Amino acid sequence: MNRPLWVTFDCFGTLVDWNGGFEAILRPLFGGRTAEVLRAYHGIERELEKAKPHRLYKDVLATGVKLAAEKLGIEITEEAARTLPQAWGAMPVFADTEGMLAELRAMGCRLAVLTNCDDDLFAQTHQNFRQLFDLVITAEQVRDYKPSLTHFRRFAEVTGATSKDCVHVACSWYHDIEPTKTLGIHRIWLDRDRTGDDASAATTRVETAADICAAVQKIFAARI
């Protein structure tokens, strides 16, 4: 029982406002059609991330934006398509994130990020947090994208943590909640987007970061 207790997080959409950030960055390019481009991008991104060999996330971003625009009949240059990775550091941390992270640290938890991102892109985002995370595992490091299990397996290898020693927190049901269920990892679904997906796939479902610490405390208190 002296092993460290870890709380791992997906970052974009969970701790950082992915949707709002994307919209703000892309609106100068697409104006009133920005929401359409974002919807098209979501599906295209998943297919690009499944493709082999592995491609860096900055390439996924630029290619995904260009393909989404083309799908909707919107012309966009290669240079304009790179706007998203070039402005990556501008995406804001959610207002309820820092208080939750501070409380978890006060509880003695170690905090990690498991992200579908490149090292240099996440380094920009990391600077936007008040305190650095104890561990960061990126898609670039593992050469794979969630919902593949590679991030989670690398985390276990690096830390030695078991399913009793960690809780994973994420907004994406597809990328995080379903795969952690298959590994038997306790998982808190921060359902910011109210997607309507199956809440039974999560150990606990919450709607705000303010509810995460109590949920983490309850899970760790019950471990044997």
Specify whether 77 is located in the same domain as 119: no
- Positions in the chain short of pLDDT 70: 1, 224
Domain that holds residue 39: 18-89
Specify whether 133 is located in the same domain as 63: no
Q: What does the pLDDT read at residue 186?
A: 97
Specify whether 59 is located in the same domain as 96: no
Specify whether 10 is located in the same domain as 27: no
Q: What does the pLDDT read at residue 97?
A: 98
Specify whether 122 is located in the same domain as 12: yes
> Tell me, what DSSP letter sits at residue 5?
P
Specify whether 159 is located in the same domain as 70: no
Task: Provide the angle, in degrees to the nearest 10, between the axes of the packed helices 212-221 and 97-106.
Answer: 30
Specify whether 58 is located in the same domain as 153: no
**Cα 208 to the center of its chain, rounded Å:** 15
Q: What does the pLDDT read at residue 40?
A: 97
> Mind giving me the DSSP string for 146-180?
TTSSHHHHHHHHHH---TTSEEEEES-IIIIIHHH
Q: What does the pLDDT read at residue 197?
A: 93
Q: What does the pLDDT read at residue 196?
A: 93
Which of 72, 89, 106 corresponds to the end of one domain? 89
Question: What's the total number of domains in the chain?
Answer: 2
Tokens of 137: 């595992």
Residue 1 lies in a domain: no
- Domain containing 194 — which CATH number? 3.40.50.1000
Q: Which residues of 69-101 are buried (b: 16+ CB within 10 A; e: fewer)?
A: beeeebebeeebbbbbbebbeebebbeebbebb
For 174-221, the pLDDT digits (tens) are 999 999 999 999 999 999 999 999 999 999 999 999 999 999 999 999
